[in-house]
Structure 1
Amino acid sequence: MKYSLRQLEVFLAVAHYDNITRAAESLAMSQSAASSALRDLEEQFDIRLFDRVGKRLQINELGRLVRPRVEALIAQARSLEQELNQHQTPGSLKLGATLTIGNYLAVELMASYMSEHPGRRVTLEVANTSAIVEKISNFELDIGLIEGEANHPNLIFTPWLEDELVVFCSPRHPLATKKQLSDQDLQNAGWILREQGSGTRQAFDWAMRGLLPRLNVLLELQHTEAIKRSVRAGLGISCLSRIALQESFQNGSLVELGIPGRNMHRQFYLVLHKQKYQSAGIRHWLSMCAKLEQNWH
């Protein structure tokens, strides 16, 4: 493009004031800068938009012809600038979260975000860790909140909250009366676990290393509530986040089982694409996550 918006602004100002000095003052420019901008505009197209009458610049026929179109173009540019400036305030977001985070943490954060910014939508896609990572890498989601560890050359994984996995059973299960389970108890039990590819399953497999090949896995389910219902029905024992079990422990419908000598802690992560522009909405969401982290446990 051979002209700039600044050159057009100078043209309009000079057309209004018929004087380069006053035009420059109205645009907070020096007289020499304004003169240079107008001269460059005319020379680029080998035209004259003003007749020089002493110290006055009087718009000529060509100037009067293009002036309405220049005014319309500048008005559109200013409107666009206002729209772009509005994005300094948080807008709508597309989130992805793994099951535990999506069901027990993300919804409250979403409610707070939309309460603080009425009219802004926040959509949430719940899937396992590998699926969320893939969608973030393809720019299908703005932010990911995941339970499992992952690695991708184009993504940033920021440690967020610390979580704890808990082994549990029905109050009627034979193991419910034992305060601590031995490795033999773990091998003899029937397990109902999250599916492969989920963050919970990844953390469980790591915690049970050395014992994992000898565990009796009866079912692999994708949904936390389905696992809890199966355990309540006495089908086996399981392992989920303490976040997902607090209410069940409080009302006595499920019982926590002690597993000595095994690290049941894990890390939640925030995931962003390295090339993703961090809009005001993304920055605000990250600040909300940081506040939750400060108050965690």
Structure 2
Amino acid sequence: MKYTFRQLEVFLAAARFQNITRAAEYLAMSQSAASSALKELENQFDIQLFDRVGKRLQLNELGRLYRPRAEALLAEATDLELALSRHSEVGALKVGATLTIGNYLAVGVMAQYMNTPTRPKVTLEVANTHTIAQRVRDFELDIGMIEGELQASELEMIPWRDDRLVAFCSPQHPLAKKGTLTDDDLRSATWIMREPGSGTRQSFERGMHGLLPDLKVLLELEHTEAIKRAVEANLGIGCLSEVVLADAFKRGSLVPLSIPHRPFDRHFYFILHKQKYRSAGIDRWIQLCREL
């Protein structure tokens, strides 16, 4: 074999940080050792994987072609190493989740996943759908959990569970006592919404097709709890996942609004890079989520 796993690690770290010094620090190597490893890899096959602009390393077309295969090979090797050294089928996992899933569902799954004799570590990153998809695409996350559909040829979308958006307001809001809302009610209301790029916003806009230009949007917020607080303060009405709102509805601090003629059903999905090795840990995570 002409290449080593260490050379592949340097190649991937350089692709991630676009700088050999930062790549060396990440791998706990000297800069000269990292530079030599990358140079040897390229020289052995008479190829160039990066365009070098000053101190910046930019993946070229060949580097982008081989990056997913190197990621998959190292992930499989790491999984085998963990299984051999820990006698365990599952290892550390890097998970990304959108806000609704990350704040209300993923923590319980993490507890079950880590509750094994080897205590495998789980790192959870919570962000909007666009960010999680990009992180999975760049191999910075092993698996993503998102609220909305997306078009990405590199990613595999695996259906997980159904969900539904629910419009809501404070008990003191004029619409709280009304039965079914009409489109005129929706146009006249003031809205507190999730930010563009989130799965919730995507689902909301799909359900409100034909009305969007007429809606009065007061605030666009990144956090569901901030939206709930703003609606409780009677600044407007909102629309979030029923998962997020269940406790508030039970307490009576928020009340649901009926809009049966607007389609707010949606799905949660797992996303994986199509060329990433699917480890035992990923399969275990998906299994636990389905049992939730």
Instruction: Using the TM superposition, give the Cα deviation of residue 115 of structure 1 relative to its aligned residue in structure 2, in angstroms.
Output: 1.1
Instruction: Using the TM superposition, give the Cα deviation of residue 117 of structure 1 relative to its aligned residue in structure 2, in angstroms.
Output: 4.8
Determine the structure 2 residue equivalent to 1:265: 265
Instruction: Using the TM superposition, give the Cα deviation of residue 272 of structure 1 relative to its aligned residue in structure 2, in angstroms.
Output: 0.5
Determine the structure 1 residue equivalent to 2:148: 148
Asked if the contact 1:88/1:280 (under 8 Å) is kept, the reply is: no
Q: Could you say if the C-alpha distance between residues 81 and 141 of structure 1 is closer, same or farther in structure 2, counting changes exceeding 3 Å?
A: closer
Aligned-partner residue type, residue 251 of structure 2: N
Determine the structure 2 residue equivalent to 1:166: 166
Q: Could you say if the C-alpha distance between residues 250 and 83 of structure 1 is closer, same or farther in structure 2, counting changes exceeding 3 Å?
A: closer
What aligned pairs does 1:1-297 form with structure 2 within 5 A after superposition? 84=84, 86=86, 89-292=89-292
Determine the structure 2 residue equivalent to 1:47: none
Range 270-279 or range 81-90, more displaced: 81-90
Instruction: Using the TM superposition, give the Cα deviation of residue 85 of structure 1 relative to its aligned residue in structure 2, in angstroms.
Output: 6.5
Aligned-partner residue type, residue 280 of structure 1: A
Aligned-partner residue type, residue 130 of structure 2: S
Instruction: Using the TM superposition, give the Cα deviation of residue 88 of structure 1 relative to its aligned residue in structure 2, in angstroms.
Output: 5.4
Structure 2: runs of 5 or more not aligned: 2-79
1:178-230 deviations in Å (ceiling 9; x for gaps): 01111111000000000000000000000000111100011000000000000
Q: Could you say if the C-alpha distance between residues 85 and 188 of structure 1 is closer, same or farther in structure 2, counting changes exceeding 3 Å?
A: same
Q: Distance in 2 between matches of 1:83 and 1:161?
A: 30
TM-score, L = length of structure 2: 0.70
| 1:276 alignment partner, SS class | coil
Q: Distance in 2 between matches of 1:115 and 1:132?
A: 25
Q: Could you say if the C-alpha distance between residues 85 and 214 of structure 1 is closer, same or farther in structure 2, counting changes exceeding 3 Å?
A: same
1:122-180 deviations in Å (ceiling 9; x for gaps): 01000000100000010000000000111111110011110000000000011100011
Asked if the contact 1:96/1:141 (under 8 Å) is kept, the reply is: yes
Asked if the contact 2:88/2:118 (under 8 Å) is kept, the reply is: no
Q: Distance in 2 between matches of 1:212 and 1:279?
A: 42
Q: Distance in 1 between matches of 2:134 and 2:82?
A: 35
Aligned-partner residue type, residue 269 of structure 1: Y
Structure 1: runs of 5 or more not aligned: 2-79, 293-297
Instruction: Using the TM superposition, give the Cα deviation of residue 269 of structure 1 relative to its aligned residue in structure 2, in angstroms.
Output: 0.5
Instruction: Using the TM superposition, give the Cα deviation of residue 275 of structure 1 relative to its aligned residue in structure 2, in angstroms.
Output: 1.2
Determine the structure 1 residue equivalent to 2:76: none
Q: Distance in 2 between matches of 1:118 and 1:82?
A: 10
TM-score, L = length of structure 1: 0.69
Q: Distance in 2 between matches of 1:210 and 1:135?
A: 33
Q: Distance in 2 between matches of 1:244 and 1:107?
A: 14
Asked if the contact 1:88/1:279 (under 8 Å) is kept, the reply is: no
**How large is the Cα RMSD of the aligned pairs?**
1.7
Q: Could you say if the C-alpha distance between residues 91 and 224 of structure 1 is closer, same or farther in structure 2, counting changes exceeding 3 Å?
A: same
Identity of aligned residues (%): 59
Aligned-partner residue type, residue 95 of structure 1: V
Aligned-partner residue type, residue 196 of structure 2: Q
**Larger Rg: 1 or 2?**
1
Instruction: Using the TM superposition, give the Cα deviation of residue 95 of structure 1 relative to its aligned residue in structure 2, in angstroms.
Output: 0.3
Asked if the contact 1:148/1:199 (under 8 Å) is kept, the reply is: yes
| 1:196 alignment partner, SS class | coil
| 2:100 alignment partner, SS class | helix
| 2:240 alignment partner, SS class | strand
Q: Distance in 1 between matches of 2:118 and 2:85?
A: 18
Q: Could you say if the C-alpha distance between residues 174 and 277 of structure 1 is closer, same or farther in structure 2, counting changes exceeding 3 Å?
A: same
| 1:278 alignment partner, SS class | coil
Determine the structure 2 residue equivalent to 1:57: none
| 2:105 alignment partner, SS class | helix
Q: Distance in 2 between matches of 1:111 and 1:81?
A: 24
Aligned-partner residue type, residue 253 of structure 2: S
Superposed structure 1 runs of 4+ greater than 3 Å apart:
80-88
| 2:204 alignment partner, SS class | helix
Aligned-partner residue type, residue 286 of structure 2: L
| 2:130 alignment partner, SS class | helix
Asked if the contact 2:156/2:272 (under 8 Å) is kept, the reply is: yes
